[in-house]
Structure 1
Amino acid sequence: MGTHQLESFVRERCRSGTLTVPEVRGLFDRLLASSDLAPSIYPFNYLFKALVRMNNLTNHYPTVLSLFNRLTLNKHISPDVCTYSIMMNCCTRMDRVGLAFVFLGRFLKDGPWADPDVFNPLLMGLCKDNRVHEAATIVLDKMPKLGCTPDIFSYNTLVNGLCKMGQIDQAEELLNYMVSKGLQPNIVTYTTLIDELIKEGLLDKAVKILQFMICNGLEPNIVTYSVVMDALCKKGEVEKAEELLDYMFSNGLQANIVTYTTLIDGLCKKGLLDKAMQILQFMISNGLEPNVATYSVVMDALCALCKQGEVEKAEELLYHMASKGLKPNIVTYITLIDGLCKKGLINKAVNMLEHMVSKGHEPDVVTCTALMVALCKEGKPEKAEELLHHMISGGLQPNVFCYNTLIHGFCKMDKLEKATKLLREMVSKGILPNIVTYNIFMDALRKKGR
Structure 2
Amino acid sequence: MTYIHDSIEQLRKSSPAQTEFYQAVEEILESLAPLLEKNPKYRQHSIIERMLEPERQLMFRVTWVDDDGKVQVNKGYRIEFNSALGPYKGGLRFHPSVNASIVKFLGFEQIFKNALTGLPIGGGKGGANFDPKGKSDGEIMRFCQAFMTELYRHIGPNTDVPAGDIGVGTREIGYMFGQYKRIVNRFDGVLTGKSTLWGGSALRVEATGYGCVYFAQHMLEDADDTLEDKKCLVSGSGNVAIYTMEKLYELGAKPIACSDSSGTLYHQAGIDLDLIKEIKQVRSGRLREYLETHDDAEYTASDDYPEDGQQIWRYSADLAFPCATQNELNEQDAQCLLENGVKAVIEGANMPCTNKAIDLLLEQQVLFGPAKAANAGGVATSQLEMAQNSSMTRWSREEVDEKLKDIMQRIYQDAKRTAEEFDAPKNLALGANIAGFRRVADAMIAQGVV
Normalising TM by the smaller chain, what interval? under 0.3
TM-score, length-scaled by structure 1? 0.23
TM-score, length-scaled by structure 2? 0.23
Higher relative contact order (CA 8 A, sep 6+): 2
Larger radius of gyration: 1
Bigger strand fraction:
2
